[in-house]
Amino acid sequence: MSTSRKTVSFPSPAARPARGHLLIGQSGGATAVINASLVGAALAAMEAETIDGIYGARYGIRGVLDGDLLDLRRLPAEMWDILRGTPSAALGSCRYKLREDDPARAVAALRERGIRYFLYIGGNDSADTALRLAEAARALDYDLRVVCVPKTIDNDLPETDHCPGYGSAARFLALATRDSALCTLAMPDHYPVKIIEVMGRDAGWLAAASALCKEREEDPPHLIYFPERPLSDERFLADVSSVHAACGYAVVVVAETVRDEGGQALGASGSQGTDAFGHPLLGGAAQYLTSLVRDQLGLRARFDKPGDLQRMSSACVSSTDRAEAELVGRAAVAAALHGESGKMVTLVRRPGSIYSCETGLVDLTKIANAHRPFPSAFVSASGTDVTPAYHDYALPLVGDPLPRYVRLPTA
């Protein structure tokens, strides 16, 4: 599938570009393409005449507060191309919620070092951090341009068509689900039920991606359970029993945050508390459902949990995802140089039969601590599959066409 991308031109506010240093930070869960955004921002900054020093904050906002900065101009030129294809957060990341006095401390530290541009690569919680920093700078009368660069495999940021990181994670889950399902299909009498638990926090975008390799209705995954829809034990057992009777095996994908009808997370038994922003750290949904199948249906079952592999598998990076991750990094520099602050770069899908994307801007007030659920229009009538509309939306994001497999005739 061919793609074309361009960056929209930002209207230039009255303020002229301020001469000073630029600082880049990475925050939240790392992805396979987050470093491409770092590369895009750093290279764009090197091309700007009004930007002097270019620094990276080690471990996100913690590096700003601790004065732990890396001089990016000192890195060898040949490193940037390699970094573009390196997964995880090269600068180090964090999940740190600012305390009451932190924004003013951070602005004071940036002012002392002559940093006039701050780019923060992250998701919903990172947008909250960036917004508080921008507001503190205004209150302290310091001309600091704060721009967020979107990043999250969860794909749950509002106001943007999609998020860098999602396309690669979606590609991984589509391929991993099909590969794992083929293992079950080869010996359906050995472990006839397979349950795959995926990330995604409170949105079903990643769970949906598991269906992108389906070519026929009967292909696995047979059942997908989204966090937006409560799931009862009775319904789950009836669904699995029906699929097993029809196909001889069942492959199920469940989001780690799926809840029962009382609002209790199925994975509560595997809870590891909460992160700094109060999000529960769950991980027991698949284990719970596997035990349910064994105990109530008498079927052998097992589960797979890709875990961090779905975040940053370098083997499954989407070429489209990597290119767009670099694009939003460059666009953030352009926005900051044009006087924008308190904004996040967005990806805007252009109409037409051939996929193409450009960038836009949105106020951080619309992003901070907000999330976009998986749309009902992308969920099938059964509530356990996706619609063709979702395939049309997601397939351009996973890059090269997904490989096809062959099945030998059974008779």
Query: For position 3, what pLDDT does the model report?
Result: 41
pLDDT in tens, 1-26: 334 444 433 344 445 667 899 999 99
Cβ proximity of 32 and 312 under 8 Å: yes
283: pLDDT confidence band, cut at 50, 70 and 90?
A: low
Query: For position 17, what pLDDT does the model report?
Result: 65
Which of 154, 202, 239, 321 is flagged as catalytic? 154
141 included as an active-site residue: no
List the single range of 52-66, 190-204, 279-293 with lowest mean pLDDT.
279-293
Q: Give ranges for CATH 3.40.50.460 in the chain.
A: 167-313+374-398
Q: What is the mean pLDDT of residues 188-210?
A: 95
Q: What is the mean pLDDT of residues 333-339?
A: 97
Please, what CATH class does the domain formed by 4-164+315-366 belong to? alpha beta
Report how many helices (DSSP H) and strands (DSSP E) the chain contains, helices first: 12, 12
pLDDT in tens, 316-325: 999 999 999 9
Choose among 257, 272, 165: nearest CA to 207: 257
Q: What is the mean pLDDT of residues 190-216?
A: 96
Q: What is the mean pLDDT of residues 128-156?
A: 97
pLDDT in tens, 285-317: 999 999 999 999 999 999 999 999 999 999 999
List the single range of 93-97, 133-137, 273-277 with lowest mean pLDDT.
273-277
Q: How far is CA 111 from CA 36, 74, 303, in A?
A: 27, 22, 51
- Using omega within 30 degrees of 0 as the cis cutoff, is the peptide bond preceding 221 cis? yes
364 token code pair: 């951080």
- CATH number among 3.40.605.10, 2.160.10.10, 3.40.50.300, 3.40.50.460, domain 167-313+374-398: 3.40.50.460
Distance separating alpha carbons of residues 388 and 217, to the nearest angstrom: 11
- List beta partners, residue 145: 117
Q: Three-state secondary structure along 210-276? A: CCCCCCCCCCCCCEEECCCCCCCHHHHHHHHHHHHHHHCCEEEEEECCCECCCCCEHHHHHCCCECC
Taking phi over 0 as left and psi of -120 to 50 as alpha, with beta for the rest, 159 belongs to left
Q: What is the mean pLDDT of residues 236-259?
A: 97
Q: Give ranges for CATH 3.40.50.450 in the chain.
A: 4-164+315-366
Q: What is the mean pLDDT of residues 166-171?
A: 98
277: pLDDT confidence band, cut at 50, 70 and 90?
A: low
130: pLDDT confidence band, cut at 50, 70 and 90?
A: very high
369: pLDDT confidence band, cut at 50, 70 and 90?
A: confident
Cβ proximity of 207 and 224 under 8 Å: yes
* Averaged pLDDT score across all residues of the chain: 92
Which amino acid, residue 223?
L
- List beta partners, residue 54: 22
List the single range of 91-105, 210-224, 268-282, 339-353 with lowest mean pLDDT.
268-282
Query: For position 245, what pLDDT does the model report?
Result: 97
